[in-house]
Chain A
Amino acid sequence: MEIFLQQIINGLTLGSVYAIVALGYTMVYGIIQLINFAHGEIVMIGAMVAFSAIGWLAGNTALPPLAIVLLGTLAAIPVCVAVGYALEVFAYRRLRHAPRLAPLITAIGASIVLQQLAMIAWSRNPLAFPQIIPGTVFDIGGATITLVQIAIIATSVLMMAGLSFIVYRTRLGVAMRATSQNALMAGLMGVNANRVIATTFMLGAALAAVAGVMVGTYYGIAHYTMGSLLGLKAFCAAVLGGIGNLAGAMLGGMLLGIVEALGAGYIGDLTNNVFGSNYQDVFAFLVLIAVLVLRPSGLLGERIGERA
């Protein structure tokens, strides 16, 4: 029983990571119907910048670990926001009215360019997280949970709450929702669509930075390739929950994380070792395909999968 519980905890943590990244995807998709392929790379850049900052701080100052991590995050956010803004203004804005294929292809190109630039900046070697966080482990009914795991789950819930607040309780949120429904009409009502969209991108990028720090801290390692698979899986999570829907991103992320954890943990026994944990990465894609075939609007979504 404790093994099952442990897998659930693993799944929730992994799922929280997916959820925060999925929030970024869903926000951008909700407003301009674009899958920002480069989102995963922004997460990676956030992690790398934060690691560089945290590494320097840990080596040269005697601040408490929490402060170091916070400062690292604060260092990563502006960099990611700048990248997100640049992407929107230089790459995506011109293509807002182009046929669907164009911004998608640009996004793919952007993700490759970002990855390579990161590699030039930080080299191919993985960056290690300095050992500053105490490894205290709590026991829950036989399963273990670490401080970092608790922090991750809590942060993702906080992020969702914060984002929901912005989208549903502020003027910016109203503008965002209006633009996503009908940009032209929103413009006629006095909303500066360009500014709102750029702000959405920047918000998404800021979330990505936090996600990057979380992922890096959790696994203790950051590498220039960490963004791509994470981004893809988070996108699958967003679709699972219903793309364009904030709560859906959270739900989708958590579910996907648990499915992956339980799948990896039990599929070997279930199939008598014909399929083992080596097929772990396949789950996300299978879930995606199943969702798109059976229920394209996702679990909580209002939008349908067919986009003209």
Chain B
Amino acid sequence: MSLTGKLKANPAALWSAVALVACALIALPFVLATAGTTWVRVTNLAILFTLLALGLNIVVGFAGLLDLGYIAFYGVGAYAYALLASPQFNLHLPFWIILPIGALAACVFGVLLGAPTLKLRGDYLAIVTLGFGEIVRIFFNNLSQPVNITNGPQGISRIDPIRIGDFSFSQNELILGLNFSGPVKYYYLLLLILIVMIAVNLRLENSRIGRAWQAIREDEVAAQAMGINTTQVKLLAFAMGASFGGIAGGMFAAMQGFISPESFVLVESVMVLSMVVLGGMGNIWGVIVGALLLSFVPELLRHTVDPVQRALFGRLLVEPEVIRMLLFGLALMLMMLFRPAGLWPSQVRRRELAEK
């Protein structure tokens, strides 16, 4: 029996494992902070990417629709937040109103982008979604004239941080003798959102809709023959996946305080895809592992490989950014060649991809 199988059989063991993991997660930011608050920031970005990967997983993993323009939804969520909580329009709505609005806006975009692609398959779907992603980004970059909506390439700065009453998420505070810096506070909020999203994903996977997605992914014609309304189901996949991206985007805007179209380029879409592919398309836990790996490993390498290169060669032969991109590209290539089901495949997927 696998580890998870053994755990499920023994409730006491299961709960102690959960408690252990929970304690580790709660203590994590303070452990990281001893090495520098930078690592807490890195962790926060990793959680954001995990949210994105989970969202893309719905589209690519569950429904089998290759979306190369996913980062557009991240951008929509981020700009929605920025426009409603910054000096741009001088609106300062609280975050619990804006985040749902961002998710909704992303949903709408998801449907808009998904609708023309319903008849397309595989390669064409990929390119068209890529095109849409680029179109959205170009609009972000150019909607500063004639009416200034997004402030163009200059981006939107001085975005309000998240606030609950007087408790601001960007200030350092001392609570119970522990230093809660801004990033640490955001960590807990992000962790909470992540847990909720994982729960939503798990429910989706085992619901009627989840099974409908699986059916479409395996054989669309057969699914239609079984009475599944493929149009509705596909649009739902796009919409749900997009809403995850929208929420992550809103958190990104709040945390950074500044966004610009440069953060929503094609390369970022490919990165999120790499995380999903690396972890295991369709498997929620696999995708999380993939996202965490591809977020942390480049940062760790940056700290270890740079000094090694300098010591050995006296200069940087390969820049950290190059190493990062190489990792992503190689992850995509090698995974598809040797382990198409991902590092941690779901049983279903493994069967599907192995038999062909």
Chain A residues within 8 Å of B, Cβ to Cβ: 33-35, 91, 94-95, 97-106, 108-113, 115-116, 119-120, 228, 232, 235-236, 239, 273-274, 276, 278-279, 281-282, 284-286, 288-289, 292-293, 296, 305-308
Contacts and interface: CB of A to CB of B under 8 A. Distances in A.
Contacts of A292: 116, 120, 124, 128
Contact of A289 (B131, B277, B326, B329): B131
Contact of A91 (B128, B273, B274, B337): B337
Given A101-B64, A104-B66, A293-B116, A35 B356 contact: no
Contacts of B3: none
Nearest to B220: A308
Nearest to A308: B121
B132 to A, nearest CB: 7
B130 interface: yes
Nearest to A278: B142
Main secondary structure of the interface of B (DSSP, over half): helix
Contact of A105 (B127, B128, B317, B332): B332
Interface residues of B, number: 48
B306 interface: no
Contacts of A112: 270, 325-326, 328-329, 332
Which of A279, A286, A292 has the most C-beta atoms of chain B within 10 angstroms of its own C-beta?
A292
B29 interface: no
B138 interface: yes
Given A97-B356, A104-B66, A109 B124 contact: no
A93 B336 CA distance: 12
A306 B119 contact: yes
B156 to A, nearest CB: 19
Interface string B24-46: 00000000000000000000000
Given A285-B135, A289-B128, A102 B146 contact: no
Main secondary structure of the interface of A (DSSP, over half): helix
Contacts of B141: 278
B353 interface: yes
B11 to A, nearest CB: 39
Contacts of B131: 232, 236, 284-286, 288-289
29 contacts: A94-B337, A101-B60, A101-B122, A102-B353, A104-B66, A105-B273, A109-B333, A109-B336, A110-B329, A112-B270, A112-B328, A113-B326, A113-B329, A116-B322, A116-B326, A120-B318, A236-B131, A276-B145, A278-B138, A281-B138, A284-B131, A286-B135, A288-B128, A288-B131, A289-B128, A293-B116, A305-B119, A306-B119, A308-B121
Given A35-B127, A306-B119, A307-B121, A285 B134 contact: yes
A285 to B, nearest CB: 3
Contacts of B330: 109, 113
Contacts of B130: 232
Contacts of A100: 121-123
B7 interface: no
Contacts of A228: 266
Contacts of B356: 97-99
Contacts of B122: 100-101, 104, 307
A113 B353 CA distance: 24
A101 B333 CA distance: 12
A15 to B, nearest CB: 19
Contacts of B328: 109, 112
Given A116-B322, A278-B142, A281-B134, A106 B332 contact: yes
* Top 3 A-B pairs, shortest CB-CB distance: A109-B332, A112-B329, A285-B131
B318 A105 contact: no
Which of B138, B141, B274, B333 has the most C-beta atoms of chain A within 10 angstroms of its own C-beta?
B333
Contacts of B193: none
B146 A274 contact: yes
B241 interface: no
A119 B335 CA distance: 23
B121 A104 contact: no
A197 to B, nearest CB: 17
